[in-house]
């Protein structure tokens, strides 16, 4: 199932009219659907004054629908895509933000915790599959060598066992976690707080390119959106809710990373914290959480993390052979399509669809994904298994 | 109040007949008193077979009472003393070992947890006062520079605020805690697992001498007793029970120090654990405790420790001036005696007693203690304040 164009347009417009996470907008969409909700807001019918004036300021002299159309066009030019709750690949777990319960945080932030209205994605993996078995690893930008080491090991270890490593793409711990996952040839997702055409920080451009190649860049903000300070905190709730658990490695007192961990606990995910030397300012936030948040769980490595998030027995077993990992994560249709391809022979699209027993449109979509992931190559006369066999990645 | 000679002799003999902490002996003493309990055991009347045969083996060909008498003579020659539950200075908190509840430890060790029958002490401070406001700092012998630093800081900080620092005199964390306390000019107690004439390890002889000078060496074993391996675990329960709380700084998995912490929690004292780098084998035991023992409390420094053990408001205030600390800890009678001494004048014993309003015998006892602590000097014609004024220590 995919969203109709007017629904997609309305969701983009709503995301532009008010910052993602705004409950008043989320409730309107819940009641009326995105198209009617947009109409109501543009007619000045917002249920509360704050939203009404925010919409008025934002839309003054602007054709909001045209802005949304331009954003969608720009998305396509970027090689990115819009994903909405109507799409099959929507990461449904983010809906659990509705049930988020937070203790001891300030009210203003609490208000910005509604589920996202839509997400931008760049990278071949469907979001739902990428997040299915995923763990967030977050922490300080000003990480110490100790923290960097621990985050790299966790990123590597999780990816090596077939888990997706999710983080925020920042310097320090985030980067180390992403890099660890990439080194293991695994899947990693950077959830950004700005448009996908300007991933922040710029110094991580090469890293973002590598992530987009084999993993995913994800954002709630349309292309062109700036990485404004409050957006990082808004973004954090998606990291916390889309994953099965969050690990904090190094954090200064009351930092953004400790907030992500509180969000994870708030949506009933394991909130895991790696301790460090008590002499390090970069572990103060971690130790504060372990002292003050009864549900924060001390973990010292991959084994403890898997104990918390691994509900399936084999997660505790030795890792499967690396080349099979990405393939194991394909959905049923993609697997059928891949298995329909004969060894050393090219097959026309129609034949692939017939042999796989799927619709032509589905075969096309899956083949395109398989091509991007390097499982399949496109030839003039059809599709064939990639030369390296039916598996990669690098 | 002091114990009669036959009670003291009986307690020493009982301690020699069976290892300290043996419940069967403790219960007999509870029911019959030490003298009758000893008679019963020497007559082969031990209530259980294990104890009966242990007593038989131990006393074969030996005059048990003569052994005890020799031990007491040796104690005196050492400049040490025997302290029994009948004495005013008995550290009453150790009786709470009766209520010790332990989970998940092996049974054999659990049996060796009765309160001590008597203690040997070397050093001027009465045990009760020394332990009154005391915290144990324990941990690995093979400490890292990180652990040594943290233990030294804790020892210093506690002593600097007038707390007694109690530990086991071992290399590594124990030594660092003792040294920190000594550097602050504070009171530190080493509870040993062998006779006070052969404090173990030998490499710490200079440290033990410094501790005995201004603090205390304490043991449940008579002079000459060897530091046998099981004795360290038996000893640990006294460290845990005599103090107001125990802090663990670095420990390998399932080490003796983690056992001390379990004992502390078992007698309802705060069991505090300092975390460390997860990359350090010397923090594995600490992190295990924090993960598996719900009552283990993560602490990162002196402020957290005082929060746990400091029931009096001013413990959280800035430290008092150092020279006054030891003086503040004198008991009422000792303070009266000290204040009875005029500045720059020598006073005869009888005059001191009269001015202090205490009995002659009490004045003598307190003056002797004050002299050992360096507050008072003895002259040919009586007592005077020490030249440095009414306070020391070095």
Tokens of residue B268, six digits = 């309802």
Q: Which chain B residues contact residue A287 at CB under 8 A?
A: 275, 298, 300
Residues near A192 by Cβ (< 8 Å), separated by ≥ 6? Answer: A168, A169, A199, A200, A217, A218, A219, A221, A227, A235
pLDDT of residue B269: 94
**Pairing, β B296-298 against β B188-192:** unpaired
B22 near B50, Cβ under 8 Å? no
Distance from CA of A189 to the nearest CA of B (A): 25
pLDDT of residue A19: 92
Residues near A43 by Cβ (< 8 Å), separated by ≥ 6? Answer: none
Please list, residue by residue across B137-153, b when 16 or more beta carbons sit within 10 angstroms of its beta carbon and e when fewer do. Answer: bbbbbebbebbbbbbbb
pLDDT of residue B194: 97
Judged on CB neighbours under 10 Å (0-12, 13-18, 19+), B195 is buried
Q: How many beta carbons lie within 10 A of that of residue A325, not counting itself?
A: 21
Q: Does B353 touch chain A (CB under 8 A)?
A: no
Q: Does B279 touch chain A (CB under 8 A)?
A: yes
pLDDT at B377 over 70: yes
Q: What are the pLDDT tens digits along chain A (394 aa)?
A: 567 999 999 999 999 999 999 999 999 999 999 999 999 999 999 988 989 999 999 998 899 999 999 999 999 999 999 999 999 999 999 998 987 776 655 444 455 689 999 999 999 999 999 999 999 999 999 999 999 999 999 999 999 999 999 999 999 999 999 999 999 999 999 999 999 999 999 999 999 999 999 999 999 999 999 999 999 999 999 999 999 999 999 999 888 899 999 999 999 999 999 999 999 999 999 999 999 999 999 999 999 999 999 864 444 444 434 344 567 777 888 888 888 888 888 898 888 988 888 888 888 888 888 887 778 888 888 898 887 533 443 3
Tokens of residue A330, six digits = 């394909």
pLDDT of residue A325: 58
Q: What is the mean pLDDT of residues B46-52?
A: 90
Q: Which chain A residues contact residue B279 at CB under 8 A?
A: 146, 149-150
Q: What is the CATH number of domain B330-385?
A: 1.10.10.10
Compute, in degrees rounded to 10, the torsion defined by CA atoms B276, B281, B287, B293.
-140
Residues near B208 by Cβ (< 8 Å), separated by ≥ 6? Answer: B169, B190, B199, B217
pLDDT of residue B334: 85
Q: Does B301 touch chain A (CB under 8 A)?
A: yes
Hey, are the CB atoms on A298 and B287 less than 8 Å from each other? yes
3-state secondary structure A224-292: CCCCCHHHHHHHHHHHHHHCCCEEEECCCCCCHHHHHHHHHHHCCCCEEEECCCCCCHHHHHHHHHHHH
pLDDT of residue B300: 97
pLDDT of residue B314: 47
Q: Which of B277, B297, B298 sits opposite A277 (nearest CB)?
A: B277
Task: Write the CA distances from A297 to A157, A271, B252, integer angstroms.
Answer: 19, 6, 20
Preceding peptide of B314 cis, ω within 30°: no
Phi, psi values for residue B219, rounded to 5°: -155, 155
Determine the angle formed by the axes of helices A23-32 and A34-42, rounding to 10 degrees.
120
B130 near B122, Cβ under 8 Å? no
A135 near A311, Cβ under 8 Å? no
Residue indicated by tokens 């807001």: A41
| Residue A163 DSSP symbol | P
Q: Where is A176: in which H helix or E strand?
A: helix A173-183
Rounded-to-integer distance, Cα A48 and Cα A52, Å? 6
Rounded-to-integer distance, Cα A233 and Cα B241, Å? 47
Give which of B199, B202, B231 is closest to B122, Cα–Cα.
Answer: B199
Q: Who wins on pLDDT, B133 or B110?
A: B133
Rounded-to-integer distance, Cα A203 and Cα B312, Å? 52
What share of chain B in percent tops pLDDT 90?
Answer: 68
Q: Which of A146, A284, A291 sits opposite B277 (nearest CB)?
A: A146
Q: Does B149 touch chain A (CB under 8 A)?
A: yes
Distance from CA of B277 to the nearest CA of A (A): 4
Domain boundaries, chain A: 5-66, 107-316, 330-385
Q: How many beta carbons lie within 10 A of that of residue B352, not counting itself?
A: 23
B143 near B176, Cβ under 8 Å? yes
Mutation target for A interface from B143, B274, B278, B289: give the one with most A CBs within 10 A: B278
| A62 Rama class: left (phi>0) / alpha (psi -120 to 50) / beta | beta
Distance from CA of A277 to the nearest CA of B (A): 4
Q: pLDDT tens digit string along B1-33? A: 567 999 999 999 999 999 999 999 999 999 999
Residue indicated by tokens 């957290």: B304
pLDDT of residue B317: 44
Hey, are the CB atoms on B298 and A277 less than 8 Å from each other? no
Q: Record the pTM.
A: 0.79
Task: Write the CA distances from A21 to A79, A197, B36, B273, integer angstroms.
Answer: 26, 21, 78, 39
pLDDT of residue A344: 80
Mutation target for A interface from B146, B300, B301: give the one with most A CBs within 10 A: B300
Rounded-to-integer distance, Cα B346 and Cα A119, Å? 89
> Which fold, A107-316?
Rossmann fold (3.40.50)
Phi, psi values for residue B177, rounded to 5°: -65, -45
pLDDT of residue B103: 60
Q: What is the mean pLDDT of residues B255-260?
A: 90
Q: pLDDT tens digit string along B202-254? A: 999 999 999 999 999 999 999 999 999 999 999 999 999 999 999 999 999 88
Residues near A288 by Cβ (< 8 Å), separated by ≥ 6? Answer: A253, A254, A258
Per DSSP, helices labelled H in B300-359 are: 302-309, 325-328, 332-340, 349-356
3-state secondary structure A9-47: HHHHHHHHHCCCCCHHHHHHHHHHCHHHHHHHHHCCCCC
Preceding peptide of B214 cis, ω within 30°: no
Residue indicated by tokens 């007038």: B162
A250 near A283, Cβ under 8 Å? yes
A109 near A49, Cβ under 8 Å? no
Rounded-to-integer distance, Cα B38 and Cα B9, Å? 10
pLDDT of residue B105: 53
As a whole number of angstroms, the longest Cα–Cα distance in chain B is 65
In DSSP notation, B288-304 reads HHHHH-TTEEE--SHHH
Hey, are the CB atoms on B150 and A278 less than 8 Å from each other? yes
Q: How many CA atoms lie within 13 A of B366 on its CB side?
A: 23
Residue indicated by tokens 């890293």: A207
pLDDT of residue A111: 57
pLDDT at B328 over 90: no
B272 near B243, Cβ under 8 Å? no
What number is the ipTM of this complex?
A: 0.76
Distance from CA of A298 to the nearest CA of B (A): 6
Determine the angle formed by the axes of helices B34-42 and B5-17, rounding to 10 degrees.
50
Enumerate the β-bridge partners of residue B139: B249
Strands (E), chain A: 81-83, 119-122, 134-139, 164-167, 188-192, 216-219, 246-249, 271-274, 296-298, 376-379, 382-385
Q: What is the mean pLDDT of residues B42-54?
A: 91
Q: Which chain B residues contact residue A300 at CB under 8 A?
A: 278, 284, 287
Q: What is the mean pLDDT of residues B174-180?
A: 98
Q: Who wins on pLDDT, A188 or B60?
A: A188
Judged on CB neighbours under 10 Å (0-12, 13-18, 19+), B59 is middle
Q: What is the mean pLDDT of residues B65-94?
A: 96
């Amino acid at each position: 199932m995919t969203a109709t164009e007017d629904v997609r347009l309305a969701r983009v417009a709503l995301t532009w009219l008010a910052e993602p996470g705004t409950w008043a907008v989320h409730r309107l969409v819940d009641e009326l659907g995105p198209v009617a909700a947009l109409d109501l807001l543009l007619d000045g019918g917002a249920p509360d004054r704050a939203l009404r004036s925010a919409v008025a300021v934002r839309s003054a002299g602007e054709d909001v629908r045209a802005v949304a159309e331009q954003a969608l066009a720009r998305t396509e030019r970027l090689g990115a895509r819009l994903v909405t709750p109507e799409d099959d690949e929507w990461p449904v777990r983010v809906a659990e933000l509705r049930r988020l319960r937070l203790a001891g945080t300030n009210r203003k932030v609490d208000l910005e915790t509604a589920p996202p209205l839509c997400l931008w994605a760049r990278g071949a993996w469907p979001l739902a599959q990428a997040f299915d078995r995923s763990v967030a690893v977050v922490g300080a930008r000003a990480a110490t060598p100790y923290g960097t080491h621990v985050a790299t090991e966790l990123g590597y270890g999780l990816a090596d066992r077939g888990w997706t490593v999710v983080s925020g793409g920042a310097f320090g711990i985030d980067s180390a976690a992403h890099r660890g996952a990439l080194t293991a040839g695994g899947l990693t997702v950077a959830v950004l707080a700005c448009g996908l055409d300007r991933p922040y920080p710029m110094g991580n451009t090469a890293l973002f390119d590598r992530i987009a190649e084999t993993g995913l860049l994800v954002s709630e903000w349309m292309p062109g959106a700036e990485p404004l300070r409050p957006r990082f905190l808004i973004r954090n709730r998606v990291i916390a809710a889309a994953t099965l658990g969050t690990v904090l490695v190094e954090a200064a007192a009351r930092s953004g990373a400790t907030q992500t961990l509180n969000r994870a606990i708030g949506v009933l995910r394991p909130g895991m914290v790696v301790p460090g030397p008590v002499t390090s300012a970069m572990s103060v936030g971690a130790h504060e959480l372990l002292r003050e948040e009864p549900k924060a769980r001390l973990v010292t490595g991959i084994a403890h993390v898997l104990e918390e998030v691994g509900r399936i027995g084999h997660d505790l077993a030795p890792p499967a052979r690396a080349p099979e990992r990405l393939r194991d994560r394909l959905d049923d249709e993609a697997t059928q399509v891949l298995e329909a391809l004969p060894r050393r022979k090219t097959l026309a699209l129609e034949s692939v669809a017939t042999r796989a027993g799927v619709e032509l449109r589905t075969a096309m979509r899956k083949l395109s994904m398989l091509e991007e992931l390097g499982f399949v190559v496109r030839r003039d006369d059809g599709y064939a298994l990639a030369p390296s066999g039916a598996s990669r990645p690098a």
